[in-house]
Amino acid sequence: MESLEAKFEQMKTSSSASTSRIQPYVPAEKSLPEITLKATILSIFLAVIMAGSNAYLGLKIGITVSATIPAAVISMTILRFFRNSNILENNIVQTATSAGEVIAAAVVFTLPALLMMGYWKEFPFGTTTAIIIVGGLLGVLFSIPLRRAYIVENEELKFPEGIATGEVLKVGDSEAREGTKDLLAGGLLAGLVKFAQSGLMIMSEGAHYWFQTTRTVFGFGSGFSLVLVGAGYIVGVQVGVSMLIGAIIAWMIAVPLYGFLFGLPEASSAYEIAVTIWNKNIRMIGVGTMVVGGVWTLVYLVKPIVQAVKSSIATLKKTKLGVQGSLLRTEYDIPINYVLIGIAILTIPLAFIFHHILTQADMQLPITTHFATVGVVTIFAIIVGFLCAAIAGYMTGLVGSSNNPLSGVTIMAILFISMILLVMLGTHIDFGTKGANSLAAAAIAIIIGAVMATAAAISGDNLQDLKSGQIVGATPWKQQIMLMLGVVAGSLVMAPILEVLYQAYGIGDSLPREGMDPAQALGAPKAAIMAAIAEGVFTHSLDWTMFSIGAVLAIAFIFLDSILKKGNSTWRLPVLAVALGIYMPLDITIPLLVGGIIASLCQSKIAREKAKFKEKEFIYKQEHANRRGMLFCSGLIAGESIIGILLAVPFAAYQSTDVFKIAPSDFEHMGVLLGALTFVGISYYLYKISSDLYKGSKT
């Protein structure tokens, strides 16, 4: 077994190399098999699995997490059973897999809005798949020139998740086996708990304690979802605290105050009264906060955007079109002339999609107006799509994929295109009513947003993969080909997965049939925001009073965050996280916070243990404990998500969520107790393994 000092020196060397010119693990002069049959099959399989898992997660909580490290661990574990497997094959697998899971992130943030608006009654396979494939392939093509601008030429951008994935790929077999154990343990525990909650119904998914006074309601609640604990651990305590602040504003201040001032709606319980007030009135505060936060994010990124565009243009000028034969294997991208041809070709189906939507709406527009609208929105989608990809790529390079401002960028794009459509079509149709024409215009805005969100998400996350490829010595053009394969694989299964989830649970306030339990519906909070904004612009139905309150709150939190930043505080208050806390139910916010608190407590405990170890030993063991926690949480996320999808099949087939129910009618209080104890127990186990410095290699 490799000595601890050797492992530490390798980590140190890799870390220092990442701050300068990367020395690839596999030299450029050495050529190993990368795109092999076994790697391709495994890539497609994992891309489909991760796409489904992230679709469920994004619909449930409005947050998705990167699957690149778990994919790398799984790939190392499986490919080890084959002869002649190598690190570049593993890198190819995680590259394609990440493309599949990122597809889901962009799609669930946008396309479910079409259901919530009533424009779609289902997810049509052809249209849905076309939107996703076009947007995803554009994202891959956009990331090709950005790779040179951001990874090769720009040493400021570190791409932390890309570096982490590269280091995981370089870790020995013993680490891979141990990582797989933690990943599988988290997946098994979360899967069993999810089946007990949503299938057998012997465990409650949350607890709520609300009471009604003569004038209003007060209360509190929390969910017991392990997928949220895992996501909270990954995104960190600061995001959790920011979301808690938003939840306090919404549920403990705004809901009681609204009830006191305007009266209480009819409902069977205090909790249902609170949910009704929040859903119909208070959520719009979150929309206002999100929009202003998105504007601020773009303003804040003006300088990075300009730098990114200048760097990209300068790099393209240095390279002759299509002539890259003199480049090293590790610097060989898909030629830029092929990239431009690909973008031009993808413009055709993109224009056809918009033409199809306008035609279906039967707006009876003059033919010149019809095709002028199609042309303008198509050009808008391409140009602004690249701008969104540049923003996402730059931000992921600075702070990682988890902080990619995808929501803010997409919201602003939807608002922008909505205003353009108002100008172009306003003289032909009445936008003040909830008719077919206004609905079609809002749908176009959402679909353009979906294309741009997909391109931005793919571009940002794929740059992380290309960074890991730079570290291990991969061939960029082969990674880019596999990125496209991952996009296509994820796109082909996304519509069926979304349709099954919709038929089983419902999405937002859109339920496919009567008699379904709204509490079981997947909230899709980001898509609901997109729907509220797009539809509100065209129907004049936005609650501008609540929207304005949210806007004022956003300004206040931006100001507070600026003070924290100027004071060099380690704590920040991201306005988009506060907005999400206002917009999402307590069932989601509290478990996310629990996961973030666990991560913070683990870091504090590890810091206190530092004096008991030599420096090199401490650094290695700290990395080991952190990796165990991350992989266990990745298992929690994958396990609950996969069981949620598997349960959706019989739920949809029998049109009931009681198919496997065994709990008696009077089991509610015992279910809450079992759910709470299980939640606390697994959370404590996560804390133990993530803060344990005494387990692991000592040689």
What is the 3-state secondary structure of 111-157? CHHHHHCCCCCCCCHHHHHHHHHHHHHHHHHHHHHHHHHHHHCCCCC
Query: Which residue shows structure tokens 């990682």?
Result: 400
Quote the Cα angle for 672-673-676, to 5°: 85
Between the CA of residue 539 and those of 98, 162, 422, 438, what are the distances in Å? Answer: 38, 44, 11, 7
Is the dihedral angle over the CA atoms 285, 286, 292, 295 positive or is it negative? negative
Residue 239: count other Cβ atoms within 10 Å of its Cβ. 26
- At how many degrees (to 10) do helices 336-361 and 367-399 cross? 130
Q: What angle do the packed helices 87-108 and 37-61 form, to 10 degrees?
A: 30
- Specify the DSSP class assigned to residue 250: I
Residue tagged 């224009």 (tokens): 351
Angstrom distance (rounded) from CA 191 to CA 179: 18
Is residue 203 within 8 Å of 675, Cβ to Cβ?
A: yes
Q: Are 84 and 102 in contact (CB under 8 A)?
A: no
Report which DSSP code applies to 329: G
Query: Residue 574 corresponds to which amino acid?
Result: P
C-alpha dihedral over 236, 305, 471, 491, to 10 degrees? Answer: 80
Residue 156: predicted pLDDT: 62
Within the chain, which residues score under 50 in pLDDT? 1-20, 172-174, 176, 320-325, 697-699
Strand partners, 209: 220
- The predicted pLDDT at position 553 comes to 95
The length of the chain in residues reads 699
- 505-521 confidence digits (pLDDT tens): 888 888 888 777 777 78
pTM value is 0.70
pLDDT score recorded for residue 307: 63
3-state secondary structure of 510: strand
Burial class (CB in 10 A: 0-12, 13-18, 19+), 28: middle
Cβ atoms 68, 464 nearer than 8 A: yes
Ramachandran quadrant class, 202 (left: phi over 0; alpha: psi -120 to 50; beta: rest):
alpha
Residue type, 363: M
Q: Is 271 helix (H, G, I), strand (E, B) or coil?
A: helix
